[in-house]
Amino acid sequence: MSKVYTIAVLVGSLRKQSINRKVALALAELAPANLRLNIVEIGDLPLYNEDIDVTPPAAYSTFRDQVSSSDAVLFVTPEYNRSVPAPLKNAIDVGSRPYGKSAWGGKPGAVISASPGAIGGFGANHHLRQSMVFLNVPCMQQPEAYLSNAGSAFDASGQLSESLRPFLQNFINAYADWVEQFKKA
């Protein structure tokens, strides 16, 4: 039996009914048996400030522990102004501090972006990958995952569109292989 890997899932949108949260939940349902996806909430993190990090707020410590104790990370994000939303960037900063004690380092990652627009969050996806290079999070390169016109990905009851299911299944299966391959290396 293969090991079960704990995946910290960070959703870039704070709305409880956001498309990206729905995508994250759909991925959790589609995940193979060797992945356990857990959404790590980022909405309660105070803006990163080194002055308050002298005695870290409980939210910083809890977040860092959740990311540190995971085997890998998965980012599910919308695009705001061709970049990642501020709460997600803040979470990345909180997790990378204090200097030399990053919660991110060495964890295999992947990025999926979803947007009601035509390019599916391409800018946010690649901007996020740029930060991950610095943080030593080796991101899965293929398959790339940009969900355009994502407002139609779910029906009125929140169910995933059957036409999108194979795409997400392929993505999460490839990610499971990526995590397995990386963790065995």
Which amino acid, 95? G
**What is the reported pLDDT for 150?**
86
- Residue 130's closest CA among 144, 111, 107, 143? 111
**What is the reported pLDDT for 184?**
80
Domain count, the chain: 1
Residue 185: which pLDDT band, with cuts at 50, 70 and 90?
Answer: low
**What is the reported pLDDT for 10?**
98
Residue 1 has pLDDT above 50, yes or no: no
What average pLDDT does the segment 161-182 reach?
95
Alpha-helical regions (H) of 32-100: 58-68, 86-95
Task: Calculate helix-pair angle for 165-184, 19-30, nearest 10 degrees.
Answer: 70
Residue 182 has pLDDT above 60, yes or no: yes
Q: How far apart are CA 150 and CA 164, in angstroms?
A: 10
**What is the reported pLDDT for 16?**
85
> pTM (2 decimals)?
0.96
Residue 2: which pLDDT band, with cuts at 50, 70 and 90?
Answer: confident
Residue 69 belongs to a domain with what CATH number? 3.40.50.360
Q: What share of the chain is helix, strand, coil (3-state, %, to 5)?
A: 40, 15, 45
Q: How many CB atoms lie within 10 A of CB 174?
A: 16
What is the extent of the structural domain holding 54? 5-184
Mean pLDDT check: name the lowest of 41-50, 92-101, 148-157, 169-178. Answer: 148-157
